[in-house]
A and B are shown apart, each in its own frame.
Chain A
Amino acid sequence: MSEAALHKPWRSLRRQREAAEFGLWVFLASEVMFFACALTGYAVNRVLWPEAFAAAARETNVLYGTINTGILLTSSLTMAVAAESARAGLRRLTLVCLGVTIAFGLAFLMVKGLEYAEDIEKHLVPGPGFRLDQPAAQIFFAFYWLLTAVHALHMTIGLCLVGTLLAQAWRGSRPLSSPAFEAAGLYWHFVDLVWIFLYPLLYLAGRS
């Protein structure tokens, strides 16, 4: 089985696995810079208008945000278990955990959709008729929509990746010892990591 997972330029599966993870980390480093730019913009504006940002952050739905954080943290658990059980050759556990990870990912997007619908209803979209008086509160919500939408896009890509791996593992067209399971896991955990920082910045600011 490990022979089938080994590809041409590498002499051992260990090397191949390290190369796959290294490539993923370099990609994730560029992703970190991408999110860091938006977060630095958020930080600068929050320093300039602390009261407006606190008032705006109080308008977000902390219940939905907390539920989604719990969902994502748990999906990271099942993804980690899926990657490790693929490595150990445990087919059934791998398939179940990949499936559960997809279910959690879809649940996250569903909750996010409910939250977006509520935000639109409460006139929290920057522009004419915005709910709050302070002009800078609209800047907070510009960052809110940008960051959560880009994060949801990453979630969708992650769901496609995990779905593909689940189908391949199910059909048996990808051996379980393939480094792809750990590589997809790294991406999934990164999307979780981004949310871990978005949660306090967007939902918990200005609560006390």
Chain B
Amino acid sequence: MTGLGEDVPLTAGAIWRRTLPVWAALILLLGATLGLAYVPLGRFATATALGIAVVKGGLVMLFFMQLRKPDPLLRLAASTALFFVAFLLILTFADVLTRSAPSQPGTVMPRSQPELPATGQRGF
């Protein structure tokens, strides 16, 4: 257990060798997400774009924000927010995606299109 990772690079060359590949991967992923945005992927377009964003974010967190270091305290603090964001999204969409006008008489539906059956299939 090295705590905050004592194997830190000590020379400029070692530092660049550790960080440049991560940057190159990030730029490649940026090109990929830009290119894929113009490919008609239908309902998978948003999932693809967000999936690439998650991979990019993961690279930044692991390598630039040092979560690769085996420090449970920092990993715990960093994952807490994601845990509660998951709750936020699940509870919000459990409401939004399951609403249908007839089940809630008097509710004004904020929708500009004709009513669609609430199948839960309208997500993104």
Contacts and interface: CB of A to CB of B under 8 A. Distances in A.
A93 interface: yes
A25 B78 contact: yes
Contacts of A26: 77
Interface string A164-191: 0000000000000000001001100110
B37 A200 contact: yes
Contacts of A193: 57, 60-61
A85 B23 contact: no
A48 B15 contact: no
Contact of B27 (A44, A70, A182, A208): A70
Interface residues of A, number: 60
Interface stretch (A3-11, A32-40, A103-111, A145-153): A32-40
Interface residues of B, number: 62
Contacts of B112: 49, 52, 134-136
Given A14-B3, A33-B81, A208-B45, A21 B20 contact: no
B108 interface: no
B15 A85 contact: yes
Interface stretch (A72-80, A112-120, A122-130, A154-162): A72-80
Nearest to A182: B66
Give the residue among A14, A48, A84, A90 with the most B Cβ atoms within 10 A: A84
Interface of A: 14, 17-18, 21-22, 25-26, 28-30, 32-33, 36-37, 40, 43-44, 46-52, 62, 66, 69-70, 73-74, 76-77, 79-81, 84-85, 87-88, 90, 93, 134-136, 182, 185-186, 189-190, 192-193, 196-197, 199-201, 204-205, 207-208
Given A136-B112, A189-B60, 18 more contacts: A14-B6, A18-B3, A22-B77, A28-B81, A47-B93, A47-B122, A47-B123, A48-B111, A62-B37, A70-B27, A70-B30, A74-B23, A76-B60, A87-B8, A90-B11, A204-B34, A204-B37, A205-B49
